[in-house]
Structure 1
């Protein structure tokens, strides 16, 4: 069963780490939007966001240790949004960022 582009039977090849981290993203119109990241991997993330963005929109997401990361909106559904990073985060940098993200949560 599918809802938009979000499959209930998720077959991701990359595990996600569960977090609760408030940050901001810069939307396609340069608007700063407050978000809550709820899970993340080196390839992308899911967050809660009150502002609806369209699939394919380019955004920048502020992450500790990494600064602003370019990403693409893959789906938006009822206040949740999935984004894929334009470049996979290097493994060492990812764990450094994740450590800081968990500490700051």
Structure 2
């Protein structure tokens, strides 16, 4: 049995699956529309039509929370994985998650 574990398996915080359309601004300050597919207090994965690269920063407007600044950690085939600059506190996160899942 191999002791190798994929990066996703090593993630300390599990992500919650969502299907939420959000708006924000890209690194060039242009408006962007994205479909958030999973989220945690520390980051998210989203689909979008604009091509970005790792290291760029975006701003995303989330319900309950407001604007979050996030660094793109990876970008592949219309999807991005982001890490929030500041983690969402637990109480606000659960309220955010409840709002995203209501639809």
- TM score, norm. by length of structure 2: 0.89
**Which secondary structure does the structure 2 equivalent of 1:95 belong to?**
helix
CA distance in 2, matches of 1:25, 1:54: 16
Alignment of 1:64-79 (within 5 A): 64-79=63-78
- TM score, norm. by length of structure 1: 0.88
Q: Are positions 1:17 and 2:23 aligned together? A: no
Which of structure 1's runs of 4+ aligned residues deviate more than 4 A?
Answer: none
CA distance in 1, matches of 2:48, 2:11: 22
Per-residue deviation, 1:25: 2.0
Q: Could you say which residue in structure 2 is the equivalent of 1:49?
A: 48
Unmatched segments (≥5 aa) in structure 1? 1-7
CA distance in 2, matches of 1:81, 1:47: 5
Q: CA RMSD in A?
A: 1.2
CA distance in 2, matches of 1:79, 1:58: 16
**Greater shift after overlay, 50-59 or 83-92?**
50-59
Alignment of 1:1-105 (within 5 A): 9=6, 10=8, 11-103=10-102, 105=103
Unmatched segments (≥5 aa) in structure 2? none
Per-residue deviation, 1:14: 0.5
CA distance in 2, matches of 1:57, 1:16: 22
Deviation per residue, 1:13-38 (Å, 9 max, x gap): 11000000001121111111111000
